[in-house]
Chain A
């Protein structure tokens, strides 16, 4: 049997030489599913921002009417409105993708049967709708 052609001077005969690939920095642009995943992760910043924003709103409210009005006036600026529309869209994307993944983690059984994934997702949406309706009802009751 003839010797294999050795064009690579750094090769040591009979010694394995693995090729190891590096992960590129922009690996998350390589596949649509990776990009969707990174987007979902990034939208959690919108969730964190919303929590901080609500705290800021509560603080403004606690400082009195003048502070609260000033806070609202600042929010009416077109820049803030545009920013919050963006935040809302991010929140929506985060919520929808998160609820869609819920059945992976939550396995519920009714009697001996496993609840179908669609039912778990539907349950989450129902809870979301119920919570939103509660907030809306409270708002209407206070302002009505």
Chain B
């Protein structure tokens, strides 16, 4: 099996040892099929067991292992070491835009609070009784929101967005995309409730459409598209409420 020694530079932050993060070098014997996460696991298992980072499924589903590799936010379980340039060390840092707890582990509580604000669940004015049967949906109705339902909350989009650190109150790409996932669901009736969190200066209107959130998304959710679509529908709603005030939203 082909093996090659690759230099990794990992951003370490051990608050009991240093006030500012430092770079630490590791020489890792990498196999051809290894992902960046495999290299980190090698470091933890054989070189320094104190290296801290999150991971779980190793197959791009759980969204835990998002980190910054060579400046780009990626899932480390889906990034081949072989695909990275060899002329310089592979640099691994925590996701940008989040406070660092330790080494490559970031604090995501702010995101979880924002996610809750947009009520990412089906809202019904009145629930049908089980006897009335399920809520049916056509394949076309499913296609309307399916793309947005693929989000795995990996937070790469937050790390790619320059507005998130500049405007800490910004609800952010993934939360808005998830809100749209429910707004566009034919079974949902909660769009008006979500509007309080979405159509504000900290909601969609904080987005300046850099578009990198969609570029880095490993699940092709296209949060930038979701935000722009919401801007259009919120504007149409506003015009409708001004021009036809007698009609409820």
Contacts and interface: CB of A to CB of B under 8 A. Distances in A.
Contacts of B143: 114
A68 B209 CA distance: 41
A16 B96 CA distance: 19
B16 A27 contact: no
B162 A11 contact: no
A105 interface: yes
Given A5-B16, A8-B19, A20-B99, A37 B140 contact: no
Chain A, interface size category, equals 20 to 34
- Majority DSSP secondary structure for residues of A touching B: loop
B168 to A, nearest CB: 10
Contact of A4 (B16, B19, B20, B100): B16
Interface in B80-125: 96, 99-101, 107
Contacts of B19: 8, 10
- Majority DSSP secondary structure for residues of B touching A: loop
Interface in A1-38: 4-8, 10-11, 13, 16-21, 23, 27-28, 30-31, 33-34, 37
Contact of B212 (A17, A27, A31, A101): A31
Most chain A beta-carbon neighbours within 10 Å: one of B13, B71, B228, B231: B228
Contact of B211 (A27, A33, A112, A114): A33
B225 A11 contact: no
A23 to B, nearest CB: 5
B21 interface: yes
Most chain A beta-carbon neighbours within 10 Å: one of B99, B210, B222: B210
Nearest to B107: A18
Most chain B beta-carbon neighbours within 10 Å: one of A18, A28, A101: A18
A15 B17 CA distance: 14
Interface string A33-46: 11001000100000
Contact of B162 (A10, A23, A112): A23
Interface of A: 4-8, 10-11, 13, 16-21, 23, 27-28, 30-31, 33-34, 37, 41, 101, 104-107, 112, 114
